[in-house]
Chains A and B, each alone.
Chain A
């Protein structure tokens, strides 16, 4: 066990933990989208979990930093918030928020993060970018909504963990990156009843066809 100080609160945590895990375990919310416990190497792609650590000249992502004895962490400095806000705005410029038809449980994780860091759900002053992706992509047993996806890669990692021959992957690159489904020689029935990727998705970008809500259907029509 090591002692760390987070926002003037003294915590005693296990030593192998990352700063993010230690905070979450102690009820201190740090915005994060891509963190998964089962990952050996943090993806560190959402750029939301920044914290300031005493002795460091700039904020660092808390999912990549392990706790050390005597560490002094601040989760809400102006520098941290500035980084989180720009990362969040960039995310929202590709994620049009339609709370009425979005099947996530409200408040969704993005809403909680917006409230926590004190910004709106629009991308302002950034523009919304239309990547020209389809509204809905058929993934065999699932549907994929590219414009909701925040590319956290949790689904891909989860699929890889469960299946030796995963069905999900990132396709294309840059701003056109999206999750893709490509089935192999094996049949897709392993996928049909699993839904692990659906459960792990923070933004309801993956939906099982069986539980498909009429809201998306009406949007498609």
Chain B
């Protein structure tokens, strides 16, 4: 996750920001304009859109009457908030105690290097996003990754490769179908 000047700007299109902005007033109506509502509002936005866009954070700041940088500072403090839209394939790597001991960080690094993004980020083509999670509750299978809600136990670097091979084939079929329909 890139802090500072937000690089989600490059990922979130103006159309998406507009779509989010349209739905924000309905969310704001549930909360009074007090700064104690900052976290609940941010949580509600993430619940609805799966992430906090720069535009949404600006709107929240405006609504509560605090500075945007303060909203950003609070949001980045908590691990629960993400600043990038989820990818088509959501990859969650477990960093719980057992997975950590079994080398979960190596698995995470594998995913990060393969995709050229850091945890919390989404690839520019919006295909993949990586997240680190605390514990998914099946420590006996450590190290664990959850890919598109499917739990994969005993993760290994070779399994990471295999996973992407599978996804790329799926993608080619999908894009082939789109072409077939168009012609």
Contact = CB atoms under 8 A, between A and B. Distances in A.
Interface residues of B, number: 22
Contacts, number: 76
B145 to A, nearest CB: 21
B4 A184 contact: no
Contacts of B3: 137, 171-172, 178, 180
B86 to A, nearest CB: 20
A115 B67 CA distance: 40
Given A171-B76, A184-B58, A184-B61, A138 B4 contact: yes
Contacts of A132: 118
Which label, helix, strand, loop or mixed, suits the secondary structure of the A interface?
A: loop
Which label, helix, strand, loop or mixed, suits the secondary structure of the B interface?
A: helix
A150 interface: no
Interface in B1-47: 1-6
Nearest to A164: B67
Contacts of B68: 165, 167, 182-185
A185 B58 contact: yes
A183 B70 CA distance: 10
Contact of A169 (B5, B62, B72): B72
A179 to B, nearest CB: 8
A168 interface: yes
A95 B72 CA distance: 25
A179 B71 CA distance: 14
B4 A168 contact: no
A35 interface: no
Interface of A: 132, 134, 137-140, 144, 146, 163-173, 178-185
12 contacts: A138-B4, A167-B69, A171-B76, A171-B77, A173-B76, A180-B72, A180-B76, A181-B69, A182-B54, A182-B69, A184-B61, A184-B62
